[in-house]
Amino acid sequence: MGKFIKWGLPALALVVLAAGWWLGLVWAPPDREMGDVQRIMYVHVPLQWVAMVAMAINFVVAISYLMKASWKLDAAAEASAEIGLVLGTAGMITGAIWGRPTWGVYWSWDPRLTSQAIMLVTYTGYLVLRRFVEDPEKRATWSSVVAIIGAINLPIVWFSVRWWRSLHQVQSTPKTVDPEMTLALRVSAFGMLFLTIWFLVQRYRQALAERQAEVALPDALPSDLAAAGGANSSRVA
Amino acid sequence: MSPVARNRLIALGALLVAGAGLGFVAFGNIGENLVYYWSPSEMLGQGDKAYSATIRLGGVVEAGSIQWNAEHTTLQFRVADDVKEGAPSVLVRATETPPQMFRDKIGVVVEGTYDKSGVFSSNRLMVNHSNEYRAPKEGEDPRQWQETLSDATAMGAK
């Protein structure tokens, strides 16, 4: 299993992603109105989907942590929020690049774009909070609260195009997208999902190792050696 | 209280706050205060409130209404509620190069001001795309399509 995650998973992700992007960029037809610009869909949409998946994982593990505290869950929460933020930011950037030639603007304060911006700021705040709180237990508890409340952004972003008038179009379905394009999009999305899972596992392992080091040897941390009293200095409230 | 019970209480509290917040956003009437754009009939229905404030107007470009003046580089068209003939519409004057997809019957959102002479002066013209993605029909080339489009808008000037 360890070997698969180290080599097999990234290889699988890259192969599937390459296949999906080849299908999207070469094999699938261009859009009859937008032309080749539409092909950025095969990057933008998978990024937004997997960002949502990562953030949904963050919500679930945050609740789980409060139900049954464990460093594994806290490490998973940190990993999923970070990766969700990176993917969501990449999704927003690719969306802006797509917006310029089609809408005519990179950005407009429409409900979808605004709610996504709020969502990204929320997860940035979540990660900032984590860095500020030194006590691992308080950090895990407090950040779980932020994660649970912050997760309301997910349905808001998803439904924003249906609830309010927006510049961004509503979700497409296989009925509104030609089959070749749908296939290319699905393959790209699975590639992106595998890549995300690999990122999550890597980041989770790092976070867990950090957590275990923090709780096992608080006095051995360099900052503690430098501090005056030593023994109790990691208890910064 | 044991730490386990305390944490569960915190989880419950956070979920309640999140649920209330989501409920407020979804079912509260905040949408009415956060309208991204007005349709032509809504804007016309506002009376004096619509004048001189910076607003967004959204609708579809009325068929055959595009007039492009190459000499003065001004673009005029009518934005209508929908594609039906006789739908309420507003005359828009834009000073910007329109996005490539700009054409008759496409969805647009314009930002600018409406004045008492009945002209909406737009300083930002945005085209919105539907959720449909289709391959070009037989004999259609998307690039050629764009060129014929610019020809069509140039023709309007004559």
| Neighboring chain A residues of B130 at a CB cutoff of 8 Å | 169, 176
In a domain, A8, yes or no: no
Q: Quick one: average pLDDT of B64-77?
A: 84
Plot region of A178 (φ>0 → left; ψ -120 to 50 → alpha; else → beta):
beta
Q: Give the number of other CB atoms < 10 A from CB of residue A127.
A: 15
In a domain, A17, yes or no: no
In a domain, A107, yes or no: yes
| Neighboring chain A residues of B125 at a CB cutoff of 8 Å | 104
How far is the alpha carbon of A28 from chain B, nearest alpha carbon, in Å?
8
Q: How far apart are CA B138 and CA B123, in angstroms?
A: 37
Q: Which of B11, B127, B146 sits opposite A63 (nearest CB)?
A: B11
Q: What is the pLDDT along chain A (237 residues), one digit of tens a residue?
A: 788 888 899 999 999 999 999 999 999 999 988 889 999 999 999 999 999 999 999 999 999 999 999 999 999 999 999 999 999 999 999 999 999 999 999 999 999 999 999 999 999 999 999 999 999 999 999 999 999 999 999 999 999 998 888 899 999 988 899 999 999 999 999 999 999 999 999 999 999 999 999 888 655 555 544 554 444 444 444
**pLDDT tens string B3-61:** 888 899 999 999 999 999 998 888 877 766 678 899 998 888 888 888 878 899 999 99
pLDDT for the residue B143: 63
Would you say the C-alpha torsion A11, A14, A16, A19 has a positive or negative sign?
Answer: negative
| Packing angle, helices A71-102 and A111-132, rounded to 10 | 150
For chain A, the domain total comes to 1
In a domain, A25, yes or no: no
pLDDT for the residue B152: 46
Q: How far apart are CA B67 and CA B78, in angstroms?
A: 10
pLDDT for the residue A61: 97
| Neighboring chain B residues of A108 at a CB cutoff of 8 Å | 109, 126
CB contact A231 to B (< 8 Å): no
Plot region of A105 (φ>0 → left; ψ -120 to 50 → alpha; else → beta):
beta
Q: Of A154, A95, A90, A92, whose CA–CA distance to A122 is shortest?
A: A154
**pLDDT tens string B122-149:** 989 999 888 889 888 877 766 655 554 4
> Structural domain boundaries of chain B?
3-32, 35-155
| Neighboring chain A residues of B101 at a CB cutoff of 8 Å | 33-34, 102
Contact A141, B7 (CB under 8 A): yes
In a domain, A221, yes or no: no
Domain ranges, residue A106:
43-216
| Domain B35-155 belongs in CATH node 3.40.50.720 | no
| Neighboring chain A residues of B14 at a CB cutoff of 8 Å | 66, 144-145, 148-149
Q: How far apart are CA A205 and CA B49, in angstroms?
A: 58
What's this model's pTM, rounded to 2 decimal places? 0.86
* Substitution target from A66, A98, A110, A142 for chain B, most B beta carbons within 10 A: A66
Contact A204, A79 (CB under 8 A): yes
In a domain, A34, yes or no: no
Q: How far apart are CA A20 and CA A185, in angstroms?
A: 7
The torsion of the CA quartet A118, B109, B24, A56, rounded to 10 degrees, works out to -40
B99:A102 CB<8 A: yes
Residues 34-53 of B with CB under 8 A from A: 34-37
A166:B36 CB<8 A: yes
DSSP string, B13-60: HHHHHHHHHHHHHHHSSHHHH--S-B-HHHHHHTGGGGBSSEEEEEEE
At B151 the three-state DSSP class reads helix
Nearest CA in chain B to A175: B132
CB contact B139 to A (< 8 Å): no
ipTM exceeding the 0.95 mark: no
